[in-house]
Chain A
C-alpha cells in the first residue's frame, strides 16, 4: 500500500496541492456554499471563480519570476512595473476622445508594454552586462519605479471608462473570466518555449553555473538579460489586469508588494532560490494557494489584526511541510522508513509542467 502511494507522496506538487485542498475543505466546512458556482448574467459566478480571476495577475508575475529565479537571480521591480504599465495604459486611454475605441486601447497596451520592455531591458543590462547583484539592480527600479508611476499619474488616481480595457480584467470568454485565459495562455506559452525546446534546460544550466555554461557554448549573459525582459513583460500584462479590474490606475497601490507574493509563490512551488531548476506548474499552484489564503481571510471574516498572523502561520506551515528534512524528522518517524536526504536526490528533468 505505502509502496503504491510513494510516487504520489513524493511528487513535488503533492504537498502544495494538499495544502490547497485543506484550505478549500476548511472553507467549505465553515460555509458550505464556498464551492458553489452559479450562473449570473450568463457568466459563472462564485468564490472559486473569484480566486481564479484574482490569482491571474499573480500567476503572470510568478511565471516571469520563476524564470528569473531559475537563473539564480531575483526581480524585485515587478510590482513597480505593474504600476507603471497600468498607469501608462490608463493615462493614454483617459486622454483619448473615444475611450471605447479598440485602436486607442491597443495603442495604450502597446505603449505600456513597450515601456515595460525598456524597464526589463534596463534590469537585464544592469545584471548581465554590468554585473550588479540582481537584488540590488532590481531594487533600484522597485523604489524609483513607484516614483515613475506617480509621475505618470501625477499622484492622482486615473479613472477610465473603457469597455475593451475593462475586459482584460473583467471580461468573459466561454462563461469564464478572460483573465484566467490570459494567464493560462501565458503559462502554456512559457511552458512550450522552455520545456518543448532546450531553452528551459539552458536557463537552468545558466542558473546552475553561469561560467561553466558559457564555457560550454551557451550565451549566458544573453539568457540572463532575456529573463528580466520576459519578467517585465509578464508584469506589464499583470498590471493591465490589476488596473482593468478596478478601471483605474493608482500609482501608489497597484501591484504593491506583488513581488514578494510572486517570490513566495515560486518558492511554494518548489523552485530553489539558488537557481538551477524551476517548476512552472508549482508556481501556479503557489499563486493559487496565496490567493485562496487571502480569500479565506475575507470569507471567514478573520479580523484584520489577526489576519496577518493567520497568513504567516499558514505560509510557515506550507514551507515546513515542503521541506524534506522537516518531513523526515517529524512526519515519517513512526514508520521507520529511512528519510531521503534531499540534496542527494537525483535531479530529474521534468516534462512539460504547466
Chain B
C-alpha cells in the first residue's frame, strides 16, 4: 500500500503542477486584453506601452512617470503590465498591432526572441521604441530607437568621482565592491565602468568584490564579512542604493562612521539613498533615473511625425554629492 502510494505520488504531483501552471498562464492571458477597444479614431497619438511588471519601487516610479507624461503630452496611452513574462508582452504587442496604434513602446523582459513580433510591427508600419532594456536583434531596423540608462557610464561616473577625490591620498586606497545580481546587465556594466575609471590611479585597489543581489539584506550580510576580513577598508562601491543602505548598518555595528571612516559610493538615487546622502552617510550617488516618461513622449511624437531619431538615446541622468542631495531631496518622486 505504502509503496504504491509512493510511486503514484510524484506522477500525480506532476500532473497537478502542470494544471496549476496552466491555470496561471490562462489567468495571465485574461488581463492582457485590458487595453482593448478604441485605437485611433480622433487625432490624438495612440501609444501602446508594455511594461515589464511592478517588481520594484524603481519600476513603479517608471510606470508612473510614463502615465503622467502621457497625460501631460496629450497622448492616448494603452498600458499593459506583462508580469515578468515574455509571452504576455508579445501578446500585448500583437494586440497593439491589431488595434493599429500609432507607436509601440516596451521594456523587454528578456533580450532575445523578439524578431518575429517586431517584424510584424514593422510590416504593419508601426514604429517601435525600446525603453530601459535592450534587445539583441541583429536587424536594427526592427526598432526606431532605444531609450534607457547607460550602466557603464553610471559605473564610470562613480569611479571618476573617486579618482578625483582621492588625489591627495597617500598610500593605497582599499575599495570593496557590492555587486548586483550575478550576471545581470547592470551588475556587469557598472563593474566594468567603475573598473575602467579607477584604472587611472594605481593607488585605487578593489580588494574584495561580492554579490549582494541588489538587496539590503544581501548588502548587509556581505559587508559584515568584508569588515571582519579586511581591517582597512577606505571605500565602499555598491551597485545600488539598497545594498549600500544595508551595508550602512554593518558599518555602524562595526563601530565605524559611514561617510567618514568609509567613503560610500552608490548608484540609483532612490529616496532612501538620497536621504542617506543628505545625512552625510553616503558620499556620492550616480543617478539611474526611471523618470523617462517625458523623453518617451517626445520620441513618440517625433517618430509618429516621421522624423529621424538617433538609434540610442540616454535617459537624462545626473550625479549627486551630499550638498546637491540636500537641495534635490524634497522633490524626489521615488
| Assembled-state Cα–Cα distance A133/B10 (Å) | 10
Q: A139-B20, A298-B226 are in contact. Are A254 and B255 (CB under 8 A)?
A: no
A interface list, Cβ under 8 A from B = 31, 33, 40-41, 45-47, 50, 54, 132-133, 135-136, 139-140, 143, 150, 154-157, 159, 170, 209, 242, 245-248, 250, 252-254, 274, 294-295, 297-299, 301, 303-305, 307-308
Q: Output the nearest chain B residue to A298 by Cβ-Cβ distance.
A: B225
Contact partner of B228 (CB less than 8 A), chosen from A47, A209, A297, is A47
B57 within 8 A of A: yes
Contact partner of A254 (CB less than 8 A), chosen from B2, B217, B222, is B217
Residues of B within 8 A of A154 (CB): 60
Task: Known A-B contacts: A253-B213, A298-B221. Give 9 more (CB < 8 A).
Answer: A133-B9, A133-B13, A133-B16, A143-B24, A155-B55, A245-B220, A246-B217, A247-B249, A253-B218
Q: Output the nearest chain B residue to A47 by Cβ-Cβ distance.
A: B228
| A157 & B217 in contact (Cβ 8 Å cutoff) | no
Q: A136-B13, A295-B225 are in contact. Are A40 and B255 (CB under 8 A)?
A: yes
B155 within 8 A of A: no
Contact partner of B210 (CB less than 8 A), chosen from A170, A250, A297, is A297
B6 within 8 A of A: yes
| A140 & B20 in contact (Cβ 8 Å cutoff) | yes
Give the Cβ gap from A242 to chain B, nearest Cβ, in Å.
6
| B216 & A248 in contact (Cβ 8 Å cutoff) | yes
**Interface majority SS (helix, strand, loop, mixed), chain B:** helix
Q: List 23 A-B contacts (CB under 8 A).
A: A46-B228, A135-B17, A139-B20, A140-B20, A143-B24, A170-B249, A209-B2, A242-B217, A246-B216, A248-B216, A248-B272, A250-B242, A252-B56, A253-B218, A295-B221, A295-B225, A298-B221, A298-B222, A298-B224, A301-B229, A304-B209, A304-B211, A308-B182
Q: A135-B13, A304-B211 are in contact. Are A157 and B229 (CB under 8 A)?
A: no
Residues of A within 8 A of B1 (CB): 209
| Assembled-state Cα–Cα distance A155/B290 (Å) | 15
B window 244-288: CB within 8 A of A: 245-246, 249, 253-255, 272
Residues of A within 8 A of B254 (CB): 40, 45
| A252 & B55 in contact (Cβ 8 Å cutoff) | yes
| Assembled-state Cα–Cα distance A142/B6 (Å) | 24
Give the Cβ gap from B288 to chain A, nearest Cβ, in Å.
16
| B228 & A157 in contact (Cβ 8 Å cutoff) | no
Question: Chain B contact residues (Cβ within 8 angstroms of A): what range?
Answer: 35 or more
Residues of B within 8 A of A299 (CB): 225, 228-229
Give the Cβ gap from B128 to chain A, nearest Cβ, in Å.
26
| Assembled-state Cα–Cα distance A139/B16 (Å) | 11
| A159 & B179 in contact (Cβ 8 Å cutoff) | no
| Assembled-state Cα–Cα distance A139/B255 (Å) | 43
B321 within 8 A of A: no
Q: Output the nearest chain A residue to B59 by Cβ-Cβ distance.
A: A155
B174 within 8 A of A: no
| Assembled-state Cα–Cα distance A242/B221 (Å) | 11
- B189-221 to A contact mask, C-beta < 8 Å, 1/0: 000000000000000000011110101111011
Give the Cβ gap from B258 to chain A, nearest Cβ, in Å.
15
Q: Output the nearest chain B residue to A139 by Cβ-Cβ distance.
A: B20
